[in-house]
A and B are shown apart, each in its own frame.
Chain A
């Protein structure tokens, strides 16, 4: 599983404070520790606190890449903030994210092509977040087709079918799993499938268990990437175990340690 570490996000108090005080310490500490914990990308999100979000994004990117070479995931829905992050990054990034509507794809896909980046696309458009399987797959198909036309290989796309909190939309996870299976068949090579995992347990009481249970189910349905708390050891253990059971990596008695070596 491609683990995208979620912790460098202005929604968290420590990161918010670090941005406000221009203190690189906490950000670099998170960058290093998430990398050690297995993050393949580090998500960078300025949150809502900073007045100048573009400047804050640039700063976070610069600070993070001073410590580690881990690729960054530039997380914003605002195109200008994304551009600021992409420009500041020295290595190719994951752009996180565009929606599936053509007006946005017109901007985001060429940017990804130009910057040799990968791109997260949410299965939502001007109609909002779909509640059914078909509309999710339809939007994903629009994204894949658009990417192919503009020269972005589907293997560089991460389709996010948008998971909602279990306590407000309990009928959704099952539909998302079904959508994942269908999205995997849209192209060969297939696009990646990603979720912002922690959303599933938003405002619930047993968050970690919900997160990892859904993650395992999603991995079986074709998910291969997730924005996660890589410090949640049980979650990461569950993901590593799921990949063993799906025969994606070779079993050994110490497979958990092997995956972390």
Chain B
């Protein structure tokens, strides 16, 4: 008996967002990265176009990290006093597709660096690497609104991905991204209704839907991963069903969330029953990322080179065309 086809056909797709600009396009990047474009659930290439390959952005901070567990710190310590050097290492040694500059050092509680210092850090990264750039603000609304306009201006022409805007703080960065032609990350606190609302508010200001990437806020394995998973899954389903306010590619912050987990950061002597920390931490980050790939994430922010390597292998496997009978 012949099995009937169970293929779902979708008429709508996730938007394609292009990050980066080459010299021909007015920037200085060696290549651009496109994300999104899927017309099907993740990797189901027998049903429709799977879109662009998910990419890995590695985190580079504008300060020396204060609280990274040893297993993670060991991979970056020799370069992290200089964001340019650090970014170069992530790209050349660890294979990062993009660099995400996290401006932690500008946070009032973490050094309160000036906008000028932030500009200096992103400029170093811009000059050190040729991959497209993400710049992620520190998370203090008042300070972010002083820092991000300067950073955006310094990167004008590079077609970066800048974030984040939220329901309570979106006007400054949205205006800045319009002025300097960057893409924008819209954040919502694990709440799909607010996620949709942020997109509406941002587009009310005239920002094009096609340049937004959504950040549903990530929870790591064991710490709310399933909530993020189901929201992202729902977003993809809505995107495929034609909801224009949900058709954005997604970004996840896997690195920060995974290495915050007790299982990732507890040293060997404090938890002998969990096995060696060097493996636990990278496993935690790898599994969180792989799970989120299945929910439809397009850009993974990551930290540990071994986790990056494993996840990229998984992406290669998932992205290989399925055998068609």
- Taking Cβ atoms with an 8 Å cutoff, the residues of A that contact B are 249-255, 257-258, 261
B251 interface residue per 8 A CB criterion? no
B325 at the interface (CB under 8 A from A): no
Given A250-B238, A252-B245, answer yes or no on A258-B200 (Cβ-Cβ < 8 Å): yes
| B243 and A250 contact, CB distance less than 8 A | yes
12 interchain pairs, CB-CB under 8 A? A249-B238, A250-B193, A250-B238, A250-B245, A251-B196, A252-B193, A252-B194, A252-B196, A254-B197, A254-B201, A261-B200, A261-B245
Query: What's the Cα separation between A257 and B238 when bound, in Å?
Result: 17
Cα-based distance from A250 to B197 in the complex (angstroms)? 10
Nearest-CB distance from B253 to chain A (Å)? 22
B93 to chain A, nearest CB (A): 42
Please report the C-alpha to C-alpha distance between residue A250 and residue B194 in the assembled complex, in whole angstroms: 10
Chain A residues whose C-beta falls within 8 Å of the C-beta of B246 in the assembled complex: 250
A-B pair count, CB < 8 Å, reads 35
**Cβ-based interface call for B203 (8 A):** yes
A254 adjacent to B238 (CB under 8 Å): no
Bound complex: CA A249 to CA B237 (Å): 10
Q: B220-235 vs A: 1/0 string, CB under 8 Å? A: 0000000000000010
A252 contact set on B, CB distance < 8 A: 193-197, 200, 245
Expressed in whole angstroms, the Cα–Cα distance for A249 and B242 within the complex equals: 10
Q: Is B244 an interface residue (CB 8 A)?
A: yes
User: How far, in whole Å, are A255 and B196 apart by their CA atoms in the complex?
Assistant: 9
Query: B174-195: which have CB < 8 Å to A?
Result: 192-195
Number of B residues whose C-beta is below 8 Å from A? 16
User: Contacts of B200 on A, CB cut-off 8 Å?
Assistant: 252, 254, 257-258, 261
Q: Are A251 and B193 in contact (CB under 8 A)?
A: yes
Q: Tell me what chain B mostly uses at the interface: helix, strand, loop, or mixed.
A: helix
For the complex formed, measure the closest distance between the CB of B165 and the CB atoms of chain A, giving whole angstroms.
Answer: 15
Residue of A nearest to B209 (CB): A261
**Which chain B residues numbered 194 to 227 have a C-beta less than 8 Å away from chain A?**
194-197, 200-201, 203, 209
**Shortest CB distance A69–B (Å):** 15
The answer to whether A250 and B244 have CB atoms under 8 Å apart is no
Interface pairs A-B: 10 shortest CB-CB = A252-B196, A252-B197, A254-B200, A251-B193, A258-B245, A252-B193, A253-B197, A258-B200, A250-B196, A250-B238
In residues 232-271 of chain B, which contact A (Cβ within 8 Å)? 234, 238, 243-246
- Tell me which residues across on chain A come within 8 A of B196, comparing CB atoms: 250-252, 255, 258
User: B134-176: which residues lie under 8 A (CB-CB) from chain A?
Assistant: none
Residues on the A chain within 8 Å of B244, using CB: 258, 261
Q: Is the CB of B203 within 8 A of A261?
A: yes
The CA of A90 and the CA of B238, in the complex, are separated in Å by 30
Tell whether, in the assembled complex, residue B192 and residue A250 are in contact, meaning their CB atoms are under 8 Å apart. yes
The CA-CA distance from A253 to B197 in the complex, in Å, is 6
Q: Which residues of chain B are near A251, meaning CB under 8 Å?
A: 193, 196
Given contacts A254-B197, A258-B196, contact A249 B243 (CB under 8 A): yes
- Nearest Cβ on chain A to B209's Cβ, whole angstroms: 8
Which of chain B's residues has its CB closest to A249's CB?
Answer: B243
Residues of A within 8 A of B193 (CB): 250-253
Q: Report the nearest B residue to A255, measured CB to CB.
A: B196
A residues in contact with B238, CB < 8 Å: 249-250
Q: Which residues of A contact B243 (CB under 8 A)?
A: 249-250
Task: Please measure, in the bound complex, the distance between the C-alpha atom of A254 and the C-alpha atom of B244, giving whole angstroms.
Answer: 14
Contacts of B234 in A (CB 8 A): 250
Q: Write the nearest CB–CB distance from B6 to chain A, whole angstroms.
A: 12
